[in-house]
Amino acid sequence: MTEQHRPEDRADHDIPVLIAGGGPVGMLLAAELAHHGVQVTVLETNPVTVDQPKAGTLHARTVQQLARRRYLTTRVAHPDQLARPVADHFHFAGMSGLTISAPGTEAGPIVGRSQADLERDFEARARERGATVLRGHRVTDVRQGPDSVEVFAEGPDGVREFTARYLVGADGARSTVRERAGFRATTHPATVSALLGLVRLTEPAAVPSGWNRTPRGWTVAGVNPYGHSRFITIDFRGPHPDRHTDLTLDELRAEGSRILGRDVPMADPLFFSRFSDYARLVDDYREGRVLLAGDAAHVHFPVGGQGLNLGLQDAVNLAWKLAHVLAGTAGKDLLDTYDAERRPAGQRVIDNTRAQLALMRPDPGLDPLRGLFTELLGLKEVNEHLGSMVSAQDTVCPPRTGRGSDWEGQFMPNLPLTAADGTKTDVTGLLGQGRPLLLLLSDEAAPYAGQAAGWAHVVHTVTAAPPRPLPWEAVLLRPDGYIAWASDGGALEGTLRQWFGEPR
């Protein structure tokens, strides 16, 4: 069989969605699209998942969305849990005192899962659902036309050409897709240099655990006296002279010793990395048939564990919209809402991480400001505000019409419900199908079922009673858990048409 007639060549063309980048963001997007029946192909450079000491914190809004999509195990919510919020201690700008809380009916405010573990899980789900994952393939070029996107990738057998209806760049901070597709971006230059090493600290008792500031900078250490420790230094004297120079054990040891003012013996390195506070946000998450998600769209200083969460929320937001566009069940300009909703969230994270870094600068002149901030963290309103910001629970999607309910765009908490047959369920469980959900919450809501009949091929309608009266008798939830419509707003048919096209 000649090269030009290989069977895989035919499979390389007319792909509904091609995803460049198979990290946790790209794999989650693939798993979600495959769940909706979309044929999707993932191109990932690494031949296998790489275990590295990267992000490992899932914040509340990510936890809530992954639970609604059945990637996290949960129990049916109980009415008694409504009055018992749960909270975890966290930090802001390296200062302790921040508390992140979530409703007691949710899976938790913070869940620890390594980035590699998430990637493996999402990849397994994607493959089970029929997605094609091509590892060892590096995207080298992108050419966009009016009806498709050509993608060239170098793989084990040479360069392959792919044609897709849509391309999603989830290929990280150095995204080839972003550069080749011509995305413009707003950037902030680096001002600090940071080093990270997974090393064995030979005198672990001499290294302070957690976030530690000195007049010369910061160390952040997860001290493990029985094995390897994650050790980070942050130098505020300026950016790396050469960001791409390989980090050595001697350099990390010397920098840690300089900042702490005493020797930091270490050995047996497993991983090294350099990073900075360079920040970038693309001006639009979409250019025609090319879209960006995760670090390809936004980069910021990694304080507060927000980057991974921001990318995973991108994937959840984009997947159902792209699936409806491909299925022909999308309202006008549905894909444009991806940028309108996710770019402000990216800006929010860039802004708060830059603010945190400003507070972290070791200038003694900032000590009064840090003292004031410590006092402010003791105020419930301030603590809740910052906790909601870091955990993305303050994210509200902009209304599409401006004529709907005041609740439109807010996230629906997980409420316990009793179905018409007496079965106990909750919002999280009912959203597990990944479909829009019309909840009829009282007997007076029955007429809304008739109004939604023309969208029965899209919307899952359920009659269920909450444990106590709500501000509305019916509510339409998007697949990602945000409120699209409530009965105290405009006409249901208009909202359904706007989001999901004409009735059938």
Average pLDDT over residues 366-389: 96
Which residues contact residue 297 at a Cβ distance below 8 angstroms, ignoring those fewer than 6 apart? 169, 178, 281, 282, 285, 314, 342, 343, 346
Q: Which CATH superfamily is domain 3-52+113-187+281-360 in?
A: FAD/NAD(P)-binding domain (3.50.50.60)
Q: How confident is the model at residue 83 (pLDDT cuts 50, 70, 90)?
A: confident
Which residue do the tokens 């990510």 mark? 62
Inform me whether the pLDDT recorded for 10 exceeds 70. Answer: no
Average pLDDT over residues 135-149: 97
Average pLDDT over residues 302-317: 96
Average pLDDT over residues 130-152: 97
What are the phi and psi torsion angles at 331 (to 5°)?
A: -75, 175
For the segment 379-404, what is each residue's pLDDT rounded down to a tens digit?
A: 999 999 999 999 999 999 999 877 78
Inform me whether the pLDDT recorded for 56 exceeds 70. Answer: yes
For position 2, what pLDDT does the model report?
A: 35
For position 9, what pLDDT does the model report?
A: 56
Q: How confident is the model at residue 53 (pLDDT cuts 50, 70, 90)?
A: confident
Q: How confident is the model at residue 244 (pLDDT cuts 50, 70, 90)?
A: confident
For the segment 321-346, what is each residue's pLDDT rounded down to a tens digit?
A: 999 999 999 999 999 999 999 999 99
Query: What are the distances in angstroms from CA 309 to CA 25, 287, 345?
Result: 9, 23, 11
Rounded Cα distance between 340 and 51, Å, is 34
Task: Convert 274-287 into a string of H (helix), E (strand) and C (coil).
Answer: EEECCEEEECCCEE
Task: Convert 306-375 into a string of H (helix), E (strand) and C (coil).
Answer: CHHHHHHHHHHHHHHHHHHHHHCCCCCCCCHHHHHHHHHHHHHHHHHHHHHHHHHCCCHHHHHHHHHHHH
Three-class SS state of 177: helix
Closest CA to 489 of 403, 401, 399: 403
Residues in the chain: 504
Under 8 Å between Cβ of 370 and 454: no
Taking the domains of the chain in order of start, what are their residue ranges? 3-52+113-187+281-360, 193-277, 416-500
Closest CA to 437 of 423, 422, 426: 426
Closest CA to 398 of 349, 338, 451, 355: 338
* Cβ density class 42-77: b for 16+ within 10 Å, e for less: bbbbeeebeeebbbbbbbbbbbbbbbbbbbbebeeb
* Mean pLDDT of the residues in the chain: 95
Q: Which two tokens stand for residue 490?
A: 């405009």
* Cβ density class 484-501: b for 16+ within 10 Å, e for less: bbbbebbebeebbbbbbb
Q: Which two tokens stand for residue 279?
A: 């920040």
Domain 193-277 has CATH 3.30.70.2450: yes
Count of CB atoms situated within 10 Å of the CB of 204: 16
Eight-class DSSP state of 444: G
Rounded Cα distance between 14 and 33, Å, is 16
List 214's β-bridge partners, or say none.
217
For the segment 159-186, what is each residue's pLDDT rounded down to a tens digit?
A: 999 999 999 999 999 999 999 999 999 9
Closest CA to 214 of 66, 335, 73, 362: 362
The DSSP string of 216-261 is TEEEEEE--TTS-EEEEEEETT---SSTTSPP-HHHHHHHHHHHHT
CATH topology of domain 416-500: Glutaredoxin (3.40.30)
Average pLDDT over residues 146-170: 97
Q: Which two tokens stand for residue 372?
A: 């004031």
CA 231 to chain centroid, in Å, comes to 25
Rounded Cα distance between 255 and 199, Å, is 14
Rounded Cα distance between 147 and 468, Å, is 50
